[in-house]
Amino acid sequence: MANWGMKISRDGINVNTGADRDMVFTSKYSCLKGSLSGSGSKSVSNNGTVATVTIPHSLGSIPMVQGFFSENNVNFQILPYFNLLSGGGLFTQYHHNVEADSTNVYLRFQITELLGGATNYTVYYKYFIFIDKGKL
């Protein structure tokens, strides 16, 4: 069989003669070759109630997942995210995260206005579920 593919070696290692363990990446082994992805929006109340988006994947194993969120559908930040912001006399606590199990991915959003403010927020999200396409 022909020896072809893609390899990236560490500094100082010849990519043509270096051992597999000296490579940063080699396509010889299974790697993250594809993903399921999606996006949407979720209304989140300001009272600390957790708003959950459930995304079924039915892979039968827990996949690697990356999630992002935005309040303006433009500037996305990676999950998990926790922040306490103040401005205009208000304190706002954000607690957003992403979790997965063998059947679903869960994007969880929680916003708490500590001194009043908006009653609801719209949170925009994107997610990527990394899989090996050979196992679909």
Domain ranges in the chain?
1-31, 33-135
- Is pTM, for the whole model, over 0.75? no
pLDDT at position 132 is: 64
Q: H-helix or E-strand containing 54?
A: strand 51-56
pLDDT value at position 20? 85
Expressed in angstroms, the distance from the first to the final Cα of the chain is 25
Q: What is the pLDDT of residue 135?
A: 47
* Residues contacting residue 12 through CB under 8 Å, at least 6 positions apart: none
pLDDT at 44 (0 to 100): 93
Helix (H, G, I), strand (E, B) or coil at 35: strand
Residue 7 or residue 3, greater confidence: 7
Closest CA to 99 of 49, 59, 65: 65
The tens digit of pLDDT for each residue in 13-72 reads: 999 898 888 888 888 876 766 678 999 999 999 888 999 999 999 888 888 899 999 989
pLDDT at position 89 is 55
| 33-135 carries CATH number 2.60.40 | yes
